[in-house]
């Protein structure tokens, strides 16, 4: 375990994330310019793909970090049976949910019930499929729909804010089920589908296209929002949400509805719109 991962057990997660949030939203030209330049150089950010490629024109670091892409920079897989990759990044892990357990790393796993904060809601996914996608600071930070779905409910599960880097994933037990997260339940034509937006150290915000900012405010109790009957339907490949700093999105699918793309494996680089899984013909 690295020193940074060890320190995250004792660091004041929410204080650090609140400070990071203040810096990210600062409209001071000096602050935003320094943050944008630092991240662009350190992580080799490709601004040629951005709808606005001028780093000096963004009013804050957060505006830069959640930047839109040029039209056509990403495309949905042409196969209409393909469920789509929800974001740019790397596969952390993907595969079968085995009797309700989701693989995190060698020797580490957690349950779908822990992740969703609800045993009953996890039951349809007991032997289904999962894909965990890590978004690094260089990636496009908007999350899109793998498949057309109607929003049923969101669940804000408060928790810690551990790093979600490779070392932390390998060493922090039940990491994704411990970090603060927003669980988004959708109904689709093949059944339920879940996208989980997982927060991380210095990640102090998740926004959705239907409700705006969801995290923060920080809380100590699970908060549910019922969207049944509200008619919020998002099409396949449509933007769903965004991170106000890099983190992880986890997609859960019920058993028997699709097969994961065979080329996907841990640490595979992925791009929004590529095939995540395919429905049978």
Task: Report the SS3 class of residue 78.
Answer: coil
Q: Is residue 214 part of a domain?
A: yes
**Structural domains in the chain (count):** 2
- pTM assigned to the model: 0.93
> Residue 215 corresponds to which tokens in the numbers above?
């995290």
Residue that the structure tokens 């590529």 belong to: 274
Shared-domain flag, residues 184 and 100: yes
pLDDT of residue 203: 62
Q: Is residue 77 part of a domain?
A: no
Question: What residues does 133 pair with on adjacent strands?
Answer: 91, 249
Is residue 213's pLDDT more than 70? yes
Shared-domain flag, residues 52 and 90: no
Q: Is residue 245 part of a domain?
A: yes
Q: Which domain holds residue 14?
A: 3-65
Question: Average pLDDT of the chain?
Answer: 91
Determine contact, residues 199/181, Cβ cutoff 8 Å: yes
pLDDT of residue 218: 59
What secondary structure letter does DSSP report for 111?
E
> Residue 158 corresponds to which tokens in the numbers above?
């408060």
Q: E strands within the chain? A: 82-84, 89-96, 101-105, 108-111, 129-134, 142-144, 149-157, 181-188, 191-198, 206-208, 212-215, 223-226, 233-234, 239-243, 248-253, 259-260, 269-270, 275-278
> Residue 167 corresponds to which tokens in the numbers above?
């070392």
Residue that the structure tokens 């019922």 belong to: 226
Is residue 162's pLDDT more than 90? no
Shared-domain flag, residues 203 and 266: yes
Shared-domain flag, residues 111 and 54: no
Q: Is residue 74 part of a domain?
A: no
Shared-domain flag, residues 122 and 195: yes
The pairing of beta strand 149-157 with beta strand 142-144: unpaired
Shared-domain flag, residues 116 and 24: no
pLDDT digits (tens, 9 = 90+) for 22-37: 888 889 989 999 999 9
Cβ-count burial of 56 within 10 angstroms (0-12 exposed, 13-18 middle, 19+ buried)? exposed
Q: What is the mean pLDDT of residues 77-81?
A: 97
Smallest CA-to-CA distance from 150 within 72, 236, 85, 220 is with 236
Determine contact, residues 157/180, Cβ cutoff 8 Å: yes
Question: What are the residue numbers of the active site?
Answer: 88, 144, 247
Shared-domain flag, residues 87 and 120: yes
The per-type count for the chain, helices as H runs and strands as E runs, is: 8, 18
Q: Return the ∠ at Cα 200 (arms to 71 and 72), rounded to 5°.
A: 5
Band (pLDDT 50/70/90 cuts) for residue 104 is very high
Band (pLDDT 50/70/90 cuts) for residue 219 is low
């Amino acid at each position: 375990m690295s020193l940074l991962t060890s320190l995250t057990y004792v660091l004041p997660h929410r204080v650090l994330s609140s400070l990071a949030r203040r810096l990210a939203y600062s409209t001071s030209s000096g602050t935003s310019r320094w943050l944008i330049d630092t991240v662009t150089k350190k992580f080799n950010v490709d601004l040629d793909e951005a709808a606005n490629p001028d780093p000096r024109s963004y009013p804050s670091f957060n505006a830069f970090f959640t930047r839109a892409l040029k039209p056509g920079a990403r495309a949905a897989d042409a196969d209409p049976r393909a469920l789509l990759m929800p974001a740019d990044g790397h596969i952390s892990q993907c595969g079968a949910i085995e009797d309700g357990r989701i693989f995190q790393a060698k020797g580490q796993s957690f349950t779908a019930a822990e992740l969703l904060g609800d045993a009953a809601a996890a039951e349809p996914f007991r032997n289904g499929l999962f894909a965990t996608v890590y978004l690094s600071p260089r990636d496009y930070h908007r999350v899109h729909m793998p498949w057309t779905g109607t929003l049923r409910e969101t669940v804000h599960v408060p928790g810690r804010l551990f790093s979600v880097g490779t070392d932390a994933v390998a060493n922090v037990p039940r990491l994704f089920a411990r970090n603060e997260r927003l669980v988004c339940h959708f109904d689709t034509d093949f059944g339920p589908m879940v996208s989980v937006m997982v927060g991380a150290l210095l990640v102090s915000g998740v926004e959705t296209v239907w409700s705006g900012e969801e995290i923060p405010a920080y809380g100590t109790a699970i908060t549910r929002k019922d969207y049944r009957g509200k008619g919020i339907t998002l099409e396949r490949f449509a933007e769903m949400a965004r991170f106000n700093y890099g983190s992880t999105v986890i997609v859960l699918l019920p058993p028997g509805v699709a097969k994961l793309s065979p080329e996907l494996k841990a640490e595979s680089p992925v791009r929004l719109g590529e095939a995540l899984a395919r429905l049978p013909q």
